Amino acid sequence: MTTLRAELARFDRAEEALALLEVFLEVGREQLGAVVLDPVGLRLPDQVTDDRALVQGLIEEIEQEERGRERSFDMQDAQARWDYVRLAYCSNQATVWSARHRTTYFEVVGRERATYWLPDSLKAQYFEALSTRGWVIPADWLSAVAKRPKPWWKRGGAS
């Protein structure tokens, strides 16, 4: 597994982070399990400049719905992928699980921390798709070395 930091603050524009997540969800679609987020306390980050009104509208729609523990998104549905990409960084907790629900592939915590944990094969597919689409892969992502990830229950606190 390779760990890739993906906080909004590390990109010149928040939309770059959103585009990278969108590509990941398209590339990994067949390997993904649950794609969920905590709908409580959604807040649009200041860094998001494009689609502000649309994303705020999504947040308001969700706030009008009955409050649940988590909200799932169907990655086979293009609109659901678009919604998830824009809402993940608005959430206190957003997670993309592997198909076996044993591994977290992507997670946003507290709107501040965002991380990918990718097995080598998925990382290679993802990087190839980013390159093909003309996205610049962050230099530290290219130099990141694979290692065993911490179990999800040990990821809290400072990294």
At 88-112, the pLDDT tens digits run 999 999 999 998 767 899 999 998 8
pLDDT at 22 over 50: yes
pLDDT of residue 132: 96
Task: Give the separation between CA 72 and CA 80, rounded to whole angstroms.
Answer: 9
Domain total of the chain: 1
Taking residues 114-130, what's their average pLDDT?
A: 95
pLDDT band at 128 (very low <50, low <70, confident <90, very high): very high
CA 11/CA 136 separation, integer angstroms: 11
Nearest to 120 by CA among 149, 88, 154: 149
Residue 131 domain-assigned (yes or no): yes
Q: Give the residue numbers spanning the domain of 91.
A: 2-154
Inter-residue contact 59 to 42 (CB < 8 Å): yes
- Is residue 159 in a domain? no
